[in-house]
Structure 1
Amino acid sequence: MYDFHLVKFLPQNRYTVGRNADLCMQYGKTSAAIGCAALCAAAFGLLAPRAHMAATTLLVQDDPAQLSDIRIESTLPGENSARATTLARQIQQALDAGDPELADSFLVLARHKDIPVAPDMEERVQAALNVHNSTKAVAGRFVHGLVTGEGDDGASLSGTLAGDLFVLGDVRDVVREGKRLAMGEDADRLVLGLASVGIAVTAATYVSVAGAAPLRAGLTLVKDARKVGRLGAGLTEWTGRAVRNAVDTPVLTQAVQNASLTRPVQSVGALKAAFKAEKAGALVRLAKDTGRISEKIGTKGTLDVLRIAHGPQDVARAARLAESKGKETRAIIKLIGRGALLLATGAFNLAWWVFAALIALAGFLASIKSTTERLTYAWLARRKRKRASRAIASAQASSA
């Protein structure tokens, strides 16, 4: 026979079993949501520093000064003592290489970053600068630049520039390269073209007096960088194309054949005729930017820039950096190279860090939302169960 008391309470038992199964499922989903939130929070914590750096870098990618600040901070070690050791080593290397101007640039950078430098190191740098800038040393380098047409510092460049301002230096270069060309030897056509452009620019009436100095100095520096092998491959290729566009090659060839140091006036006139001013705009801008750099950081610093530049855009950025950072520029370029001028890491790679951090943040917020919803649902369900339990208990009491 059936036990009618058990049958009476069978619906309640079924409800209890279903309720427990639903409760276990809700607890499982809530635990999964909490675990996902914790995982996303950990991922965001790991990605956030890189994403912040990437976002900051992307925002200042068109400002060489701010970009270089970020690069320097990431390049130098974190602790001040380690930074001091790094800069002291760079200063010592510059002094050993006979480049006190670079050593002084590192001193300026150290002061700007509040990095301590030993007093005896500062004294050694100052002593080296005094010797480098002595009257005898400057005069010797000036004469060397005037005679050879090659300069790697301010004094020798002044000598080279003095010769170019009187077009004798450019005529000398044209005669030398033209002679090699006539004899079937390897002539440097880029130096030949730059010298021809220099002759025309020096005497051109469209160049104002205010703008002539950086333009003329810039052309001389680009030409000197080519002579001493300090013109980067990319910039060499671009300058070669610009010179070919600005110079009438057949006319130049004829002028070179007749050029002579004994007839400078006739030589200059013939070489000027080969210059096409209307097509020299890009080359003139490059020369002006180079001259602006030289005014701020000197000849050696400018040669450093021309060595790492891939094109005129890099030189223009370097001019903005030099105008903003002054003497620090050489040290900055020495430490981070072309990364001081533009993004060394692709914009896509930087954007990926930002995107990954945003995905982690979105996952965390979604998990928090899901957890909140499930906890709220569990609380409401618990209240319903309590009400149901009270109702069943009341019904049982009434039937009893």
Structure 2
Amino acid sequence: MVPKLGYKSKFLILLLTLICGITAWNKTLTVEKNLSAQLVRIDPIPHTQELIDQKRYAEADEYLSFFMEYDYVATNPMAVTLHRQIKEQRDHYLYRLKKAAEGVTQGRSDEIEGQIAAVVSDFLIIGDIRDLTLEGLKWWQKEEVDEFIVALSTIGVVATAGVALTAGSSAAAKPALSFLKMARKVDKVPNWLRKDLIKSAKVVKETKKLDSVTDVFTATRASFKTSGVRSTLILMSQADDVNSFKKLTKLGTKFGNKTGVFVDLTGKEGLKLVDKLDQIPTTVALEASTFGKRGIQTLETVGVERFQKILRTAKVATRTTKVAYKHHEIILNQIMSFLRNSIEVIPLWALILMMFYGGILLVRRVE
């Protein structure tokens, strides 16, 4: 038998029912709030400044640009100023001319102008002769000769001659060769690749065919076309063999020229996503990486949908901390907090039952 209630009693029951509902809803968000509190966005400014101090402007631009797509950095005046300064430096004609010359004379560069010049010099066999000459001088002076560079230059001479190529034209082989030379000169060639190509170069020299290097050439060329030079260097250094490198290039296909920074931020945790790329939206994975390794770990633990809820919770929390309450609003908020905390210990199932019973009391009338 449901008792008949007056307006004051109904109002009190309504208030308690609402508080129970708020508390029940709050309990369902507890995990998200806790996880959100554990996630801390990476501040890109310190590392960007380090790269600028080292005059690594291309890498600084790549790194900071990755974060500029997110409001917490895009609205930071210091980040905006740094970004503009980097762009101005890279656009200066003397800087670009210097990088182009670096590509021709050294066969390496962190800027696109130098990388193009390095590839062109290899296309014209200038680069291969340059590298063979430099290594020959080392041999003459009884210094240690770089077998890897000699191997690549040997393959390059064969490719330029265009003799019985079965891996495609020299135009297809040359970009991969130039890239691998650049990788060696910045000490980014893993041991497995070094050993493999030194061995393969002997086969190429004897057979005048590139069959033995087809796989690594194809994977290398495809990778730096989709994700860029630095990203490919990073993926290559993380691989164990040709097959694992080919697998990791899926990250480059997924994230494009953001792959390098993504791996820098997330390390091994980010590499693990290679088997789950089809299940995770690109934007979600990239935003998770702005929290570093913990962001990727959380994404894998809770899944895409819950991770997006966590992001929304974090943004709402950030906004509410900026609200200035008036005096009477503070008092009301304290009262409501006290009431919520008082019934916080009640299990979720009990709160739902109380809400259900309270609703019955409010809507039913007893004769």
Pair member with larger Rg: 1
- What residue in structure 1 maps to residue 44 of structure 2? 87
CA RMSD of aligned residues (A): 3.6
- 1:130–1:297 Cα change, 3 Å: farther
Q: Is 2:264 the counterpart of 1:334? A: yes
* Correspondence 1:111-150 to 2 at 5 A: 115-117=72-74, 118-150=76-108
Q: Is 2:195 the counterpart of 1:240? A: yes
Q: How many residues align?
A: 241
- 1:242–1:149 Cα change, 3 Å: closer
Q: CA deviation at 1:334?
A: 1.2
Alignment partner of 1:227 out of 182, 185, 210? 185
Identity of aligned residues (%): 19
Q: CA deviation at 1:170?
A: 0.7
The residue identity in structure 2 corresponding to 1:160 is A
Q: Is 2:58 the counterpart of 1:98? A: no
SS for the counterpart of 1:341 is helix
8 Å Cα contact 1:153/1:300 also seen in 2 = no
Structure-2 separation of matches of 1:342 and 1:323: 15
SS for the counterpart of 1:290 is helix
**Per-residue Cα deviation, 1:280-311 (whole angstroms, up to 9, x for no partner):** 2xx33223322333334433333333444433
- What residue in structure 2 maps to residue 300 of structure 1? 230
Structure 1: which 5+ runs fail to align? 1-48, 50-76, 249-271, 345-349, 355-400
Q: CA deviation at 1:222?
A: 1.4
Structure-2 separation of matches of 1:106 and 1:273: 41
Q: Is 2:127 the counterpart of 1:169? A: yes
Structure-2 separation of matches of 1:148 and 1:110: 32
- What residue in structure 2 maps to residue 42 of structure 1? none
- 1:175–1:91 Cα change, 3 Å: closer
Normalization by structure 1: what TM-score?
0.51
Structure-2 separation of matches of 1:290 and 1:226: 14
8 Å Cα contact 2:227/2:256 also seen in 1 = yes
Alignment partner of 2:218 out of 277, 282, 288? 288
* Correspondence 1:1-400 to 2 at 5 A: 78=36, 82-83=40-41, 85-110=42-67, 115-117=72-74, 118-181=76-139, 184-204=142-162, 205-206=165-166, 208=168, 212-213=171-172, 215-231=173-189, 235-248=190-203, 273-274=205-206, 276-277=208-209, 279-280=211-212, 283-342=213-272
Q: CA deviation at 1:192?
A: 0.5
8 Å Cα contact 1:219/1:287 also seen in 2 = yes
Larger RCO (CA under 8 A, 6+ residues apart): 1
Structure-1 separation of matches of 2:120 and 2:133: 18
Q: CA deviation at 1:207?
A: 5.0
Structure 2: which 5+ runs fail to align? 1-30, 275-296, 302-367
Q: CA deviation at 1:123?
A: 3.4
Q: CA deviation at 1:107?
A: 4.3
**Per-residue Cα deviation, 1:173-203 (whole angstroms, up to 9, x for no partner):** 1233234345643211111111111222234
The residue identity in structure 1 corresponding to 2:171 is A
- 1:96–1:179 Cα change, 3 Å: closer
